[in-house]
Structure 1
Amino acid sequence: MGDVIQLQVPQLTKTNYGNWSIRMKALLGSQDCWEIVEKGYIEPGDAATEAALSNDAKKALREARKKDQKALNSIFQGMDESTFEKISDVKNAKNAWEILQKSFQGVEKAKKVRVMEKILRSLTRKFEYVVVAIEESKDLSKMSLEELVGSLQAHEQKMKLNEDSENLDQALHSKLSVDDGETSNNFSQGRGNRRGYRGGYRGGNRGGRGSRGRTKVEN
């Protein structure tokens, strides 16, 4: 059963290196081989040097070689013929992993940049200045997709806050305008009432004087 599980190696394609490498790390880790791929091991320079090693050192060397070949075999199983040719002459699993990493990470990075550029081009004009800022201050090839999305979301939140602030300013301005209008109207009406009162009072006086004048004539 263990051998069957080891044969379930993910297949590397031109477009799935990121996911493939994650799955391969997990697989090699389950085989207790990832450390040998990540760090490698030191081979003796020649047979005489190897023969001079202590028994413990020879045992550790044999164990390292065994793990390395096991890891390299798993990596080979995930290759198609054209990709296998890239690493067919490698001496160890670490070397094979590094070659694949350099070959396919460049493709993944170019693909990621194209996706990010497409996202930026599709944004509306209100994002225009933040797009320019991102393109001028940051290298898209070194920026993750998550970082780009986070920057855009932060900008969108900032715009919403500004819009709310503008709406609040407009509301306050409208209220003040209404209040000023009511104050002016009340003031005008008050002045009108006072003028009317003074006018009526004067008219009454004039009317009173007129009545007294007519009484004298009749008498």
Structure 2
Amino acid sequence: MGDIVVSKTKEGGGSSKISCPVLTETNYAVWTIRIRLVLKINKVWDLVENEIDDSEENDLSTALIFQALPEMLLFQLGNLKTAKKVWDAIKERYLGADLVREARLQTLASDLERLKMKDKDTIDDIARKLTELSSKATTLG
């Protein structure tokens, strides 16, 4: 599936586009960062975070999230009534229970301990790997 593009018209007639990938089994961390930004730009992130009761904004935030979900997940979450419930269900599915999250954090810690610079690696390669491990750990809490 291709990227989801959300267009927003700026005051004064211009428009901006934000590209958000469809959620997959491997891109949850990046997906959450991008979809959170889409929701903030559309001024509905607070509703997702706090479950504010505003049906029009709830519909908008839910629609934005659903646009970035694969069909199979959409069928599973389609009956949830609020964007916060959808967000929490996705988070639970991809982060799992506390035990799974702890296991993933331990795996990341092991990956960090095993990280060594090879002769062919550049400083940028190592920095990228460290940043990736850090981002994944941050996402897991």
* Normalised-by-shorter TM-score class: 0.5 to 0.7
1:151-195 superposed Cα distances (whole Å, 9 cap, x missing partner): 568xxxxxxxxxxxxxxxxxxxxxxxxxxxxxxxxxxxxxxxxxx
> Aligned in 2, Cα 1:150/1:7: closer, same or farther, shift over 3 Å?
closer
1:141 deviates by 3.4
Q: What is the root-mean-square deviation of aligned Cα atoms in Å?
A: 3.1
Unaligned runs of 5+ in 2: 1-6, 10-14, 116-141
TM-score, normalised to structure 2's length? 0.59
The percentage of counterpart residues that share the same residue type is 22
Structure 1 residue aligned with 2:72, among 72, 82, 91?
82
Q: Which structure: greater helix fraction?
A: 1
1:2 equivalenced with 2:13 (yes/no): no
> Aligned in 2, Cα 1:23/1:88: closer, same or farther, shift over 3 Å?
same
1:83 deviates by 1.1
How many Å separate the matches in 2 of 1:65 and 1:21? 23
Aligned to 1:104: 94
Structure 1 residue aligned with 2:60, among 58, 63, 70?
70
How many Å separate the matches in 1 of 2:56 and 2:16? 18
| Greater mean alpha carbon deviation, residues 20-29 or residues 1-10 | 1-10
1:143 deviates by 3.4
Give the AA of the match of 1:2: K
The answer as to whether partners of 2:62 and 2:86 remain within 8 angstroms in 1 is: yes
Unaligned runs of 5+ in 1: 43-63, 114-138, 154-219
Structure 2 residue aligned with 1:93, among 80, 83, 90?
83
How many Å separate the matches in 2 of 1:32 and 1:143? 36
Aligned to 2:52: 41
1:141 equivalenced with 2:131 (yes/no): no
How many Å separate the matches in 2 of 1:101 and 1:24? 13
The answer as to whether partners of 2:18 and 2:38 remain within 8 angstroms in 1 is: no
The answer as to whether partners of 2:20 and 2:31 remain within 8 angstroms in 1 is: no
Q: How many residues align?
A: 103
Aligned to 2:42: 31
How many Å separate the matches in 2 of 1:69 and 1:6? 20
Write the mapping of 1:158-177 to structure 2, written as runs, cut at 5 A. none
TM-score, normalised to structure 1's length? 0.40
1:79 deviates by 1.5
Aligned to 2:136: none
How many Å separate the matches in 2 of 1:33 and 1:148? 38
Residue 143 of structure 1 aligns to a residue whose secondary structure is helix
